[in-house]
Structure 1
Amino acid sequence: MIDFRALAERYDTPLYVYDFNRITEQYEKLKKAFSGRKSLISYAVKANSNLSVITHLAGLGAGADCVSIGEVKRALTAGVPKYKIIFSGVGKRDDEIEEALRDDILMINLESEAEMGRVEAIAAKLGMQARVSIRVNPNIDPKTHPYISTGLHENKFGVDIETAKRMYIAANKSAHLDPVGIHFHIGSQLTELEPIKEAATIVADLVRSLLAIKIELKFFDIGGGLGIVYDDETTIEPYDYAQAVLGTLYGLDMTIMCEPGRFIVGNAGWFLTRVLYEKVNEGKRFIIVDGAMNDLLRPSLYNAYHKVEVVGKSEEGAPADVVGPVCESGDFFAKNRPLPPTEPGDLVLIHSAGAYGFVMASNYNTRPRPAEVAVIDGADRCIRQRETFDDLVRLEKMCL
């Protein structure tokens, strides 16, 4: 059990808390599920990019799925071997592509023919051969929130099957491209297995058609997106996930790559905030806390549900909105939630905040970002200090 009161006393609030033992358990569940085949679990750094989180997973054997050159640098800094790092993302600058090639990472994931042309030109300039994969958009509805759907033609990600085939043929003929992998990712917070299986079937068929013309790929990258429980979702078991994908790969000897983020860290994290006071407007109850939308954006951005608990109080009370100090009506963590009466200083615990929490935080309203704390085998340690006002203005200059 994590003593959240003690952590709030030691580190103040608002505060992010991560259970590293839970992170280990989630990683090992996926690794075990794919143990029957050659596999690499590449952690999606965008979910939670704290260096200690990445270092912990690297120590377990994880690779890194990165969607910016900054994330590539984080992965290398945290000790992820370069041969386990993938650089994905729709828009990569020339200097970012060049840096990734010089770093000699496992592969660059291509999202368009235009991008392939840039990678080829830069590799030629450097006198190198770029290892690449191509992100295929299988046009499968992932049945998730539209903001995190990525597998339909209306989304900005990847290329259609025919374009992908044309790209592979061109890459295979190029002196400066080495097509080693294929990739698909249809969305995040996936809770239904069938769309994943459909997408894997389409992409596996493409791999077999490429093999028929002597283009042999080594890596079958199924992306990430496995959902977690925020409320009452029925989630996919890792074993069932693995079997659904592996069942499509008959006749293919490839390394399976999986890029989980939320699945590994989402339910291993909490956001802890303190009650300032309560307010009632003509019967409408508000619990005002010291955390805000700049600290945890998901409820405002996605209208996302997070379980909310008043630490030490289990009884239900009148429905209340849990809101922060930011000057926006969209600054809330929960709406119309039955919660016990609170007093100034009470602690409010927001669950399932380990993914897309701190990484999406900002300094809106000139608010310093929270500290981050890791709990490992019952011991706590600060893995990111709370920002100060001086941190916020350090790079600014006043023009007099």
Structure 2
Amino acid sequence: MNSNQQQPDLDDEFIREEDLEEVIDLDDQPTDDIEEDNEEIDVDVDDSIYSFQSHEQSVFCCHLSHDNRLAITGGQDDKAIIWDTTENGLIRFDTGGHHKDSVVFAKFNLNSTMVATGDMSGVIIVWNVEDGQKISDYEVGNDLNWLLWHNIIDNVLLAGSHETWMWRLSTNKPQCRTLQSFGCANLVAELFRDGRRLAMGYEDGSIRVWNLEQNQIAFTIQGHLAHQTTVTALSLNLDDSLIATGSANGVIKMINVKSQKVIHSFNLDKLVDDSDDEKQENSIESLQFGGQNCLVIGSSHIEIWHVPSQTKRNQIPLSRGVSKLSVDSNNVNIVYAGCLDGVFRVIDIRTGEIMNEKRGHRDQILDFAISSKSDFVLTCSDDSTCKIFKIVEH
């Protein structure tokens, strides 16, 4: 099925209240513009416990099943591969021949019975994990910007390009819905933990929160209150009361969800480039709220800001910048950083200390996935390899 086929009509129960379970408050859990450089990185050591080398070109995305036994990786060789992390990389199946462009997104659904793969041409395919059979396929046009499964309902898939698409997969009554585009692409998105709302950042700098049950906009930040350049990163805090957004020119905005207003806006520090003594703008590549009421910001370096006081606590210089940040789901005081120098870093949010570094890639890390127990990480790189690193207990 693709976008030029007739889509099934929707009823009022696309997102049903009974599907949405109570969400655990993470606060109650224990607290314990980057210039691309394609030169190969010299690596003297390899800290990985396993290296998966079945891709032929750069690997852009990776994800782990809920039990951590299966991995999916997708790359520039126009295919995604599902393989076993516990049996020396035994390949379950691959998507060879079905995608005609680089696979840039690959995600297991909530219970890991299905997996979705999306390529740069806008083709999305949903697969049965058990037998590798294709379940559905969709076309959203060029420039697929994000792809995610619903965080509570296991058969609802969302994607963003120029429009926002939402599908409910069903053998009896499949459904499709589109959210209005307002003339520009949506580039980043994150679901609220209640599963009822979706926050999105747009190409024109605006931010919108959608109510998915009602298929309506809850509120919009636009005009002079919004970013003046493309929104490149977005994050919700641990109780969904704040949204942080970052833009291509290094501006961060903090939005209060209840008041629906921008409560703070600031610029990421410009660093001095030693080669020409000129200050460089920093595109925000990733944002993550963490413990201690902090916001961790990744660009050419990492900054840790204390949200209530709106002050910077720490700054961590990096040789080549950050591709992705992720806060530990088991310890909100720990943040992980996949870096463009090929190093995976573990950082203590409270002190700004780099607690651990994992080396082994010969090019930039493009994506990573943390296991559910935070005991290992799967990384993928421009060097065409995927690696599993044991994370030291912290």
TM-score (norm 2): 0.29
TM-score (norm 1): 0.29
Greater fraction strand: 2
Q: Which has the larger radius of gyration?
A: 1
**More relative contact order, 1 or 2 (CA 8 Å, 6+ apart):** 1
